[in-house]
Amino acid sequence: MQRTVSSSPLAPSVKVKLINAGFHTAADLVDLLPLQLCQEAGISQEEANEVLQALRHDSRLCQERAAEGCITALELLHCEQSQGSLVTFSSELDAVLGGGVSVGKTTEICGTPGIGKTQLCIQLAVDVQIPVCFGGLGGKAVYIDTEGGFLVQRAAEMARAAAEHCALLAEDTEQRAALEDFTLEKILSNIFLIRCHDYVELLAETYLLPNLLQKCAEVKLVVIDSIAFPFRHDFEDFSQRTRLLNSLAQQLNQLANQQQTAVVLTNQMTTKVSNGQSKLVPALGESWGHAATEKLILHWEEDKRLASLYKSPRQMEATVQYQITGQGFRDASVTLELRPCDPPPSVSYKPHPPSPSASAPAWNCSKRPRVEAQHS
Ligand SMILES: Nc1ncnc2c1ncn2[C@@H]1O[C@H](COP(=O)(O)OP(=O)(O)OP(=O)(O)O)[C@@H](O)[C@H]1O
Ligand SMILES: [Mg+2]
C-alpha cells in the first residue's frame, strides 16, 4: 500500500533520478534529510524539498486512511517518521522528547507560575517556522492565549535569535534564500494570535480550529496557553466541567492527528492533600490527566529549572535541566547555540519522578527561588 515513486506526483525527470538511485517507494525516502537526498539522488535541493514535501502530503493521506481503519502498522510507522518533530532549542529536552515535541500528538506542559511554560510555548511558535532546509518544519503557529501571557517583545527576541542562529549556519544558496523568509517580521506575522477570555470563547475557538487549519495547511503548531485558567474559575458544576474537558481533549487529539499538527497545552499545578500530606499535581483533575498524549512537568530543584518527561507512550521518563535566556529557552549546560537538526546529545537519565500518588511531595512546591543559578 506504500506509494511508489513512479506513481507519485513528481516531475518525470526527478522520478527517473530517484529510481536510478535506488529509491522505489515513499518508505525508501521518508528518513532522509533534503541535503542527503540531493546528494544521493543527484537532484537539486529545491527538488529534494519538493519530493519530501510531497511525501509529507502522502503522510496526511496515510492519516486519513488510518482514520478509515485501513492502514498497516508499517505504513503508520513511515507516516510518523516523515512528520518530523518540533525542536525546543534545548537539545537535551529534544533528546528526552525523542527529537522534539511530537507533530500529530498533544503535549501538555505543566508547572508552577514563572517556571517558563509560556516562554517554551513562544519558543515553539518561533521554532516551528525554521525552514525545512535547516531541518525545521517550515510551518506556522496558532497561539490561543487565555491568560494574556503572550508577550510580543519576547516573541521578537526569540525570533531575532532564531533568525541569527540560522544565518550563522547557512552554507549554500538554498539556505541563504530560505533566510529571506525567516526574518523577524515574517516570523511574527506567521504566529496567529487568538485571545480567549473565558471557557466559552475557548470552546468556540477550538471548535473552529479544524476549519482554520484546513484553510492554512502550513499551521504545524497549535498552542493553548493555558487550558487551566478558564476552567479553574467560574465553575460550580464540576461534573459539567469534566464533561466539557473530556470533549475538549477528544477534539484536540483529533485535531493533532487529522491535521498533522503539534498541539501544545499548558496547565497549572494545584495542591492536593492526601493522607495528611500535601503535594503539587497538575490541575484539572485526574480525568484530565489522561487527555494529552505526552506530558512534561517544569519544576524547580533548588535554584535549577528542570523539565521532566512525565508521561509518554514512546519515550522513557527523564529529567533535564534548562535555562531561560534573553534569546529564549535553552540547555542549561551550553551557551553556544546548537543546530536544530543536529543529532541530540546523549542524556543522563534520572529516576522517574515521584508519581502523584507517592506520599512525598511530587514537585518542588516553591514558586521561584530568590537567586537563580547563572548558566552563562
Ligand atoms: N528576557 C528574559 N531573559 C531571561 N529570563 C526571562 C526573560 N523573560 C522572562 N524570563 C523568565 O521567564 C519567567 C517567566 O516564565 P513564564 O512567563 O513562561 O512562566 P509561566 O510558567 O508561563 O508562568 P504562569 O503560570 O504564571 O503563566 C520569568 O520568571 C523569568 O525568569
Ligand atoms: Mg504563562
Same domain flag for 59 and 147: no
Same domain flag for 133 and 26: no
Note the pLDDT of residue 3.
62
pLDDT for 246 beyond 70: yes
Residues 7-42 have pLDDT tens digits of 666 777 888 888 888 887 777 887 788 888 888 999
What CATH code is carried by the domain that includes residue 203?
A: 3.40.50.300
Same domain flag for 39 and 111: no
Residues 138-156 have pLDDT tens digits of 999 999 999 999 999 999 9
Does residue 225 belong to any structural domain of this protein?
yes
Indicate the length of the chain as a whole number. 376
Closest ligand 1 atom to residue 266 Cα is 22
Same domain flag for 43 and 163: no
Give residue 284's Cα distance to chain centre.
22
Same domain flag for 106 and 46: no
pLDDT for 61 beyond 80: no
In the chain, the DSSP E strands lie at: 85-86, 101-102, 106-111, 140-145, 191-195, 219-225, 262-267, 269-274, 277-282, 294-301, 304-311, 318-325, 328-331
Among 49, 81, 113, residue at a domain's last position: 81
The answer to whether 132 touches 138, Cβ cutoff 8 Å, is: yes
| Residue 324 Cβ contacting ligand 1 at under 6 Å | yes
Same domain flag for 68 and 137: no
Percent with pLDDT over 90 in the chain = 54
| Residue 328 Cβ contacting ligand 1 at under 6 Å | no
Domain ranges, residue 46: 5-81
Candidates 224, 297, 230; CA nearest to 262 is 224
Among 18, 50, 81, residue at a domain's last position: 81
| Residue 325 Cβ contacting ligand 1 at under 6 Å | yes
Angstrom CA distances, 63 to 66, 69, 73, 214, 320, stand at 5, 10, 12, 14, 32
Does residue 368 belong to any structural domain of this protein?
no
Does residue 372 belong to any structural domain of this protein?
no
Q: At which residue does the C-alpha cell 500530606 appear?
A: 277
Among 23, 54, 81, residue at a domain's last position: 81
| Residue 111 Cβ contacting ligand 1 at under 6 Å | yes
**What type of residue is 222?**
V
Candidates 165, 150, 99; CA nearest to 120 is 150
**Across 77-81, 113-117, 227-231, 342-346, least confident range:** 342-346
Same domain flag for 162 and 40: no
Of 89, 90, 112, 119, which is best to mutate to test ligand 1, by the most ligand atoms within 8 angstroms of its C-beta?
119
Question: What DSSP state is assigned to residue 280?
Answer: E
Does residue 248 belong to any structural domain of this protein?
yes
Of 268, 304, 324, which is best to mutate to test ligand 1, by the most ligand atoms within 8 angstroms of its C-beta?
324
Residue 129: band (very low, low, confident or very high) from pLDDT cuts 50, 70, 90: very high
Same domain flag for 73 and 89: no
Does residue 349 belong to any structural domain of this protein?
no
Identify the residue whose C-alpha is closest to ligand 1 atom 16.
116
Same domain flag for 172 and 292: yes
The answer to whether 308 touches 297, Cβ cutoff 8 Å, is: yes
Residue 57: band (very low, low, confident or very high) from pLDDT cuts 50, 70, 90: low
Does residue 270 belong to any structural domain of this protein?
yes
Cα four-point dihedral sign 84, 88, 89, 93: negative
Mean pLDDT (whole number) for 332-339: 58
Does residue 369 belong to any structural domain of this protein?
no
Same domain flag for 73 and 137: no
pTM: 0.78
Same domain flag for 30 and 160: no
pLDDT for 186 beyond 60: yes
Cα–Cα distance measured from residue 322 to residue 95, given in angstroms and rounded to the nearest whole number: 13
What CATH code is carried by the domain that includes residue 43?
A: 1.10.150.20
Mean pLDDT (whole number) for 263-290: 91
Same domain flag for 122 and 227: yes
Structural domain count, the chain: 2
pLDDT for 362 beyond 70: no
Does residue 97 belong to any structural domain of this protein?
yes
Residue 335: band (very low, low, confident or very high) from pLDDT cuts 50, 70, 90: low
